[in-house]
Homo-oligomer: A and B are copies of this chain.
Amino acid sequence: MSDWPPGLVSSERLTLSIDAMGGDGAPQMVVKGIALAHERHPEVHFLVFGDDSRLSPLLEQAGPAVQRVCQVHHAADAIRNDAKPSAALRAGRKSSMRFAIDAVADKRAAGVVSAGNTGALLAIAKFVLKTLPGIDRPAISTYFPTERGETVMLDLGANVECDADNLVQFAVMGEVFARHVLGLKQPTIGILNVGAEGAKGNEAVRKASEILQASPLPIKFSGFVEGDDIGAGTVDVVVTDGFTGNIALKTAEGTARMFGVFLREALTKSPLTHLGALLARPALTELRMRVDPRRYNGAPFVGLNGICIKSHGGTDEIGFANAIDVAIDLIRRDFNERIKEDLERLIAFQTEPASAAAS
């Protein structure tokens, strides 16, 4: 391990903190992911938290170039996948996950990536990093392919129950995400509901819709959208509570997988369809890549006072490297500062709606 001085963010240098013990294939998958990310981002340095005796040989294998940008910090514990968030927060003080998050709080790293236990990561990150001013609860967000480009969705499971204010905050954060990460000029926002009409749905979605409609923020609120609008890409940002969002996202993943299975079964039925599939292989490969979940791996916890990216636990090194890309991207775009600016405007409006609307 080289002992380079810790640097945070500059054009030549950016330091990320990595929980090396989270995820089904950890720590091997994580180190391989770092190696892949290093090829794309040679300027990024990694504080790698985990079991030193397992990490050192893996980094050895990864070669001197990767070793040069990695600094291993031993952590005796790892948060188990089935640990309850509250227990992880209490008992996980010497875990790789906690150490990795601490590094962001201590400004030794500009962001953290973990493929570990989602609930634990959220609880520890919220406790250690705190939320941004004006945000009650952070949300898990991601973006994925649709018929009409890419769409951001949040919350994906951080908050099982949400009130209207939570949803409004998610809308603001999602809009910033779509603008600064997806590069959309004027992203449209919709609230997920069981119908497009104003009278449908529960109180939280109806009230959130009213607040957003009255908001002086320069955002394009399109009202309610339904489940099939997600795949259609009707809006750029889909806002929902964590219970519905988690289930919708996983339902979409499951349906895409089912469709893939059906397609394979259909194409391998006869010699003729087999030949057809062979000729169409480049197209089918392209299709598979287009919906490859690894390309969309890396869900930011938005609303935290620090960049924290959750990688899917079942991903491989390609997916983990993508989660690292997401972290770097958010840091380079000063994502949290952008959210803060928009939130300040929203809070000003909510405290004094008349004057804010008039100004």
Q: Which residues of A contact B (CB under 8 A)?
A: 82, 84, 145-147, 157, 160-161, 192-194, 197, 199-202, 226-232, 240, 242-244, 246-263, 266-267, 269-270, 272-273, 275-284, 286-287, 290-291
Contact = CB atoms under 8 A, between A and B. Distances in A.
Contacts of A161: 202
B276 A283 contact: yes
A41 to B, nearest CB: 30
Contacts of A231: 251, 254-258
A275 B267 contact: no
23 contacts: A145-B258, A146-B258, A147-B257, A147-B262, A160-B202, A192-B247, A226-B246, A227-B246, A227-B252, A231-B255, A231-B258, A247-B248, A248-B248, A252-B254, A255-B255, A262-B291, A263-B263, A266-B280, A266-B287, A267-B280, A272-B282, A276-B278, A277-B283
Contact of A242 (B194, B229, B240, B246): B194
A281 B248 CA distance: 31
A229 B247 CA distance: 10
Contacts of A252: 227, 251-252, 254-255
A227 B248 contact: yes
A281 B261 CA distance: 17
B276 A254 contact: no
B286 A246 contact: no
B287 A280 contact: no
Given A230-B255, A266-B284, 13 more contacts: A84-B199, A192-B247, A194-B242, A232-B257, A240-B247, A255-B256, A255-B259, A266-B287, A266-B290, A276-B276, A276-B278, A276-B279, A279-B279
